[in-house]
């Protein structure tokens, strides 16, 4: 796994280790992990030579390529974001062909959608003109995945993750980060200052669902997959006001205020809800968590920390 120390990688690596055995999963990242739970090595996805040697030496057969710079951080350094997100992926795809890697996973994002995309029930195909360098890198990445599959037969699979919410890890550098931070704020101070406006509706998904979707897609019968760009993936959709109201059912004196910053503009360029019928048809995708179930679970799991 590349980029394994982030919000999703830490949880996905543990799930894969539980499923396939600890010694079957090797994690890697630019920075060392907070808690090392298995084999780890420091690896920059831009260092193609080291990546190539590592694949040979460790006998790597599948790659989960999570390394990226996310939407909000990306706007602070567009050049580096393009390099890491694009060249990093191309290194993985090239080596995937050269080393005959069996299967590759590439997470895309709702950041591929833009102001020209239908906002409700966003279709699988449409007008995608993303407004962030992160979004541009993800839609271009999807196109490269499709190309490498068609041209070289590379078995690459991809999901357009909504904003991911989980209790196990903290997000960094994204526009949807508020939906994790709010639970910590509620438990710690009974207060959260939200960087998005009250009525900003975005597609989101609970960590349990995102991990299950990723593993289900990676284990799906390749003959059923009609897409090698990213599959639309839906979990739930809500606004900051709605998540705050749900938290108040558990913590009645919780209060939220709104201090929108530059991330408001990014969020407004994205869509509100997703049509994921292709994923449901091709590999039987079905989300399990809605806002109420997620909120109960988040507060229960995070409670003991506070
Ligand atoms: P994250 O920012 O928490 O983690 C990304 C990891 O990549 C970090 O640990 C970072 O150190 C590492 N990294 C950055 N540059 C690197 C490089 N050059 N070489 C090696 N590692 C490098 O991100 P995340 O939330 O865990 O997301 C994982 C993937 O899922 C990303 O590709 C992201 O675009 C995608 N995604 C995430 C979300 C979400 O809500 N978390 C939503 C949509 C898509
Ligand atoms: C971000 O906000 O940048 C990510 C994403 C939706 O891709 N969480």
Name the closest ligand to CA 68.
1
What's the average model confidence in pLDDT over 221-242?
98
Residue 59 Cα to ligand 2 midpoint, Å, equals 32
Residue whose token pair is 């869509």: 271
Output the pLDDT for position 22.
94
Asked if residue 194 and residue 124 are part of one domain, the reply reads no
| 95 lies in some domain | yes
Are 90 and 187 in the same domain?
no
Residue-wise pLDDT for 112-147, tens only, equals 999 999 999 999 999 999 999 999 999 999 999 999
pLDDT of residue 165: 98
Tell me: pLDDT of 179 over 80: yes
Q: Residue 235 contacts by C-beta under 8 Å, 6 or more apart in sequence?
A: 162, 203, 204, 205, 206, 209, 210, 287, 289
Q: Which two tokens stand for residue 121?
A: 């029930």
Q: What is the pLDDT of residue 45?
A: 98
pLDDT of res. 34: 85
Mean pLDDT of 90-118: 98
Same domain, 102 and 176: no
- Do 185 and 77 belong together in one domain? no
Half-sphere exposure of 86 (CA within 13 A, CB side): 15
Q: Count Cβ atoms below 10 Å from residue 292 Cβ, excluding itself.
A: 11
Query: Residue 36's pLDDT is what?
Result: 76
Estimate to the nearest angstrom the gap between the alpha carbon of 36 and the chain centroid.
21
Work out the percent of the chain whose per-residue pLDDT is above 70.
Answer: 100
Per-residue tokens: 9 = 């990688």
Cβ 27 under 6 angstroms from ligand 2: no
Question: What tens digit of pLDDT does each residue of 2-57 get?
Answer: 999 999 999 999 999 999 999 999 999 999 998 878 899 999 999 999 999 999 99
Indicate if the pLDDT at residue 103 is higher than 80.
Answer: yes
Counted domains in the chain: 2
Residue 111: CB within 6 Å of ligand 2? yes
Across-strand partners of 205? Answer: 164
Higher pLDDT, 34 or 198: 198
**pTM greater than 0.85 (yes/no):** yes
* Residue 282 pLDDT exceeds 80: yes
CATH label of the domain that carries residue 257? 3.90.25
Note the pLDDT of residue 221. Answer: 97
pLDDT at residue 17 in the model = 97
Kindly state the DSSP code that residue 30 receives in the 8-state scheme: S
184 phi and psi angles, rounded to 5 deg: -65, -45
Residue-wise pLDDT for 64-82, tens only, equals 999 999 999 999 999 999 9
Q: Is 190 part of any domain?
A: yes
Using a 6 Å cutoff on CB, does residue 31 contact ligand 1? yes
Structure tokens at 126: 């449409």
Atom of ligand 2 at shortest distance to CA of 134? 3
Q: Is residue 277 over pLDDT 80?
A: yes
Same domain, 177 and 294: yes
What is the mean pLDDT of the segment spanning 210-237? Answer: 98
Q: Do 249 and 118 belong together in one domain?
A: no
Residues 171 and 96 reside in one and the same domain: no
- For residue 35, the model assigns a pLDDT of 83
Residues 218 and 74 reside in one and the same domain: yes
- Do both 43 and 158 map to the same domain? yes
Mean pLDDT over the full length of the chain? 97
| Whether residue 84 is found in the same domain as residue 124 | yes
CATH code of 99's domain: 3.40.50.720
Query: Residue 192 in contact with residue 84, Cβ under 8 Å?
Result: no
203 Cβ closer than 6 Å to some ligand 1 atom: no
Of 134, 178, 183, 231, which is the active-site residue? 134
Identify which of 67, 71, 195 to mutate to test ligand 2's pocket (most ligand atoms within 8 A of the CB). 71
134 is an active site residue:
yes
Cβ of 269 less than 6 Å from ligand 2: no
Q: What is the pLDDT of residue 37?
A: 80
Q: How far is the CA of 171 from the centre of ligand 2 (A)?
A: 9
Expressed as residue numbers, the domain containing 300 is 167-202+236-271+289-305
Pull the structure tokens for residue 10.
Answer: 């830490």
Largest CA distance in the chain: 58
């Amino acid at each position: 796994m590349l980029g394994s120390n982030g919000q999703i990688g830490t949880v996905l690596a543990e799930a894969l280790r539980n499923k396939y055995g600890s010694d079957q999963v090797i994690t890697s990242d630019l920075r060392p992990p907070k808690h090392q739970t298995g084999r780890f090595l420091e690896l920059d996805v831009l260092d193609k030579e080291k990546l190539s040697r590592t694949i040979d030496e460790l006998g790597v057969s599948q790659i989960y390529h999570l390394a990226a710079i996310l939407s909000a951080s990306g706007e602070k350094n567009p050049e580096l974001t393009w390099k890491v997100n694009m060249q990093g992926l191309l290194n993985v795809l090239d080596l995937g062909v050269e080393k005959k890697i069996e299967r590759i996973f590439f997470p895309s994002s709702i950041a591929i959608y833009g102001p020209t995309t239908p906002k409700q029930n966003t279709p699988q195909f449409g007008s995608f003109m993303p407004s962030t360098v992160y979004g541009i890198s993800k839609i271009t990445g999807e196109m490269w995945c499709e190309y490498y599959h068609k041209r070289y037969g590379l078995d690459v699979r991809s999901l357009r993750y909504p904003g991911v919410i989980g209790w196990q890890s903290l997000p960094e550098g994204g526009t949807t980060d508020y939906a994790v931070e709010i639970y910590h704020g509620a438990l710690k101070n009974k207060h959260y200052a939200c960087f998005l406006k009250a009525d900003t509706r975005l597609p989101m998904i609970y960590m349990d669902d995102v991990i299950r979707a990723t593993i289900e897609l990676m284990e799906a019968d390749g003959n059923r997959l009609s897409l090698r760009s990213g599959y639309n993936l839906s979990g739930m959709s809500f606004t900051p006001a709605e998540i705050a109201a749900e938290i108040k059912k558990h913590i009645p004196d919780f209060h939220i205020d709104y201090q929108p910053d530059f991330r408001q503009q990014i969020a407004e360029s994205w869509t509100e809800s997703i049509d994921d019928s292709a994923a449901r048809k091709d590999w039987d995708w079905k989300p399990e968590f809605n806002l109420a179930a997620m909120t109960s679970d988040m507060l229960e799991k995070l409670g003991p920390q506070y």
